[in-house]
Amino acid sequence: MAATGEATVYDDVTRFGPNPPHGPDVSGGHPPFEDPHIDMTANEKEVFKYLLKPDDMYDENGVYWADLPIMKRVKFVSKVDRQETRREFAAFWQMFKNDPLAPIGFYFRNMVLPGAGLGLEGYVLFSIGNIKPLFQAAFPDCWKSNTICDKTWVNAIDYLEICGIIVGQILVGFIGDWIGRRWGLIQDATIMFIGLIMLVCAWGVTQNGWVICYAWSLFFYGIGVGGEYPMTATSGMENAVGSGKVSTREDRLHRGRKVVSAFLMQGWGQFFNQVILILLLLIFHHGSGNAPYSKIAAQYTYRVSFAIPAVGTAWLIYFRTFKVKASANRQLRLAKKKNAVTGYDVESLRLTFYYFGGRILATAGTWYMNDVFFYGNKLFQSEFIHVIMPTSSSIMPAWLYNLINVGVSLCGYYLASFLVDNKLYGRKHMQSLGFLMDFIFFIIPGTQLGYYTSKEHIKEFQAMYFLSSFFQQFGPNCVTFLAAAEVYPVAVRATAHGFSAAVGKLGALTAAVGYSYWSTQTKFWVVPWFGLAGVILNVIWMPDTTGLDLKEQERRWAYIRAGREKDYHGIAIHPKHLSLWERMRGVGKPYDPELDFKQRIEEMRGEWEERMQAKMQEKEQQHDDHFADDDDFHSEVSSYFKRSTKSPNMKGMENEKTPPAEGLDGANGI
């Protein structure tokens, strides 16, 4: 490339030839690797600025958004959000004009299908608690008085279900990092399908035998459910990132929304389960939801309710086997190839515990606290229903109130998906607020339980019940699911997520055991402090990854994996993205944006040289003068230069440097 007084215009990236592009003279002198025939132009400087400092992360002066003063930060973030909102609405409107039903299809492809497994498990798992009152009413000698059934086995239903989930979370998380995400997804759906068949067909020569068969069927089903957590989180997140070297706006601006939108299908599973149970009971109980309930009506209701998701799970096996592409494993495969790992990356797991021990404490600890609260929310429901209808033997009021509660929870899920990527609020603040509000809504009635459970004040109690459900979803329940995958490297992401989720389920087990022995007043005294503990864990040990490029985290991990932690100077160690504990330990001291920019250029040069050498070897082997270049990095640079031909003097660069709108239909579902 000859040095000229004007910006050089390229028709194609291959004009660089086999030699790598040289970095801009960031210090005012010559390029880092000086070449007498090559000089940097203004065009090249803009190329590197476009690739390394995208305008949704850096202002016009190249300053990272988290480095801006607070008022400028608010102005910059608000501007980016407005632009992205307009872009998405424009894409949505264009989609709607072309086909009014297209937005519905988009939502199903990108939100419903990725979360279908969690929707099905939410349907079944929460069905267990909903069906239990029906069993107690229809089979009182077995399920209520325990005269003909072993009380230990009746109670074991809850314990074995949770134990199965814990086994699945740890086991499938390990398999997902060892064999791959796609295999884990197929395996989960298969286990859940077999488990549902077992639940539908569960029987015994005695009622106690039926209870035992039912309990072990739940254990087996729970293994598949547990695997859904790490597999849905990791595959959904990595599909948002893409597979190339150049990060995408979709990852940076909407990664959290994609994952939470898949996770909230769990709420829809609960909703549809409750609706279907109400309808089935009315059908099989002769149009009445009132007691007494016949054994036949109870059997048909619960068996048909499990047969319905079995059909959906069978379809999920087909979809994941034949429709989910092998590219679902691409991020993991690239990470293993880079580190020359063929099986499970044991070294990355060791380094994760060494360098990210505080993060493990944060993701696992907050999930534990959240699950205690998740089960604690049931306290409100039983208490205020007992006050409203103290003599009622019907299960229908509890089901109807639960339906309302699930609807309120869904509002929390959706609001979380809308705000989880907002840089001015984001994950960490959302989780702290959710824990704090749950603490308040439990401690208030705990101090005055008799007052709030009286008929005169039951409405206030009911309001706190619904608000505690809302803030749990609009906070810890969504954030724990997201953060447990997001703050770890790709090589052990599923393992770390599965471990965190398993510790969380120990919280559910704590609640299940504790509630069997504590009085109502004791429960209201004990449970709130788990929320306060969640706030403390979150504030001290949880990093805030809102607005952080996920691939930049992988770049930092590459330095750690190579034993060069102190040589990394990028935004992944910006104080904004580190926990209080990590900042106190000095993890962010090497942060230096100017040095990092030079470093990234040199890394880009090295990557270019490797690719050129590989392609030259391929060309020599195939004796072919024409070979395709479909690498994301090449296509980004090529498209940039093609656009540059329309503006040789780089005028209007503000608009040109923004990549074409990916469109709402560009996202990939898992």
Distance of alpha carbon 554 from alpha carbon 571, whole angstroms: 12
Contacts of 321 (CB under 8 A, 6+ apart): 186
514 shares its domain with 642: no
Provide mean pLDDT across the span 87-107: 93
Query: Domain end: 69, 100, 131, which one?
Result: 100
Query: Is 371 among the domain residues?
Result: yes
Distance of alpha carbon 610 from alpha carbon 356, whole angstroms: 31
**Mean pLDDT of the chain, nearest integer:** 83
DSSP notation for 379-436: HHHHHHHHHHSTT---SHHHHHHHHHHHHHHHHHHHHHHHHTT-TTSHHHHHHHHHHH
Query: Is 11 among the domain residues?
Result: no
Q: ∠262-268-274 over CA atoms, to 5°?
A: 155
Residues in the chain: 670
Query: Is 418 among the domain residues?
Result: yes
575 shares its domain with 631: no
Cβ(222)–Cβ(490) under 8 Å? no
259 shares its domain with 372: yes
Distance of alpha carbon 124 from alpha carbon 533, whole angstroms: 30
One-letter amino acid for residue 523 of the chain: K
Contacts of 131 (CB under 8 A, 6+ apart): 277, 301, 302, 305
Q: pLDDT tens digits, residue range 270-329?
A: 999 999 999 999 999 887 778 888 999 999 999 999 999 999 999 999 999 998 876 678
Contacts of 36 (CB under 8 A, 6+ apart): none
Query: Each residue of 189-225: b (16+ CB within 10 Å) or e?
Result: bbbbbbbbbbbbebeeeebbebbbbbbbbbbbbbbbb
329 shares its domain with 318: yes
Domain tally for the chain?
4
DSSP state of 35: B
One-letter amino acid for residue 375 of the chain: Y
Q: pLDDT tens digits, residue range 182-211?
A: 899 999 999 999 999 999 999 989 999 999
CATH of the domain at 369: 1.20.1250.20
431 shares its domain with 513: yes
Query: Is 369 among the domain residues?
Result: yes
Q: pLDDT tens digits, residue range 511-523?
A: 888 877 888 888 8
Domain that holds residue 135: 106-541
Query: Is 456 among the domain residues?
Result: yes
Query: Domain end: 43, 66, 100, which one?
Result: 100
Query: Is 2 among the domain residues?
Result: no
Q: Choose among 92, 108, 105, 87: nearest CA to 253.
A: 87
Two tokens, residue 466: 């619904």
Per-residue confidence band for 610, with pLDDT thresholds at 50, 70 and 90: confident
442 shares its domain with 532: yes
564 shares its domain with 485: no
Q: 98-105 long-range CB contacts below 8 Å, 24 or more apart?
A: 102/665, 103/664
Query: Is 133 among the domain residues?
Result: yes
Cβ(399)–Cβ(575) under 8 Å? no
181 shares its domain with 214: yes
Tell the burial category of 185 from Cβ atoms under 10 Å away from its Cβ (0-12, 13-18, 19+). Answer: buried
294 shares its domain with 359: yes
Contacts of 275 (CB under 8 A, 6+ apart): 403
Per-residue confidence band for 395, with pLDDT thresholds at 50, 70 and 90: confident
Q: Phi-psi region for residue 340, left (φ > 0), alpha (ψ -120 to 50) or beta?
A: left
122 shares its domain with 133: yes
Q: pLDDT tens digits, residue range 316-373?
A: 999 999 988 766 788 888 888 888 888 899 999 999 999 999 999 999 999 999 999 8
Query: Each residue of 490-519: b (16+ CB within 10 Å) or e?
Result: bbbbbbbbbbbbbbbbbbbbbbbebbeeee
DSSP SS3 for 64:
strand
Which element (helix H / strand E) includes 642?
helix 632-644
pLDDT of residue 4: 37
pLDDT at 493 over 90: yes
308 shares its domain with 345: yes
Query: Is 468 among the domain residues?
Result: yes
Cβ(503)–Cβ(368) under 8 Å? yes
Two tokens, residue 191: 């286990």
Per-residue confidence band for 28, with pLDDT thresholds at 50, 70 and 90: very low
163 shares its domain with 92: no
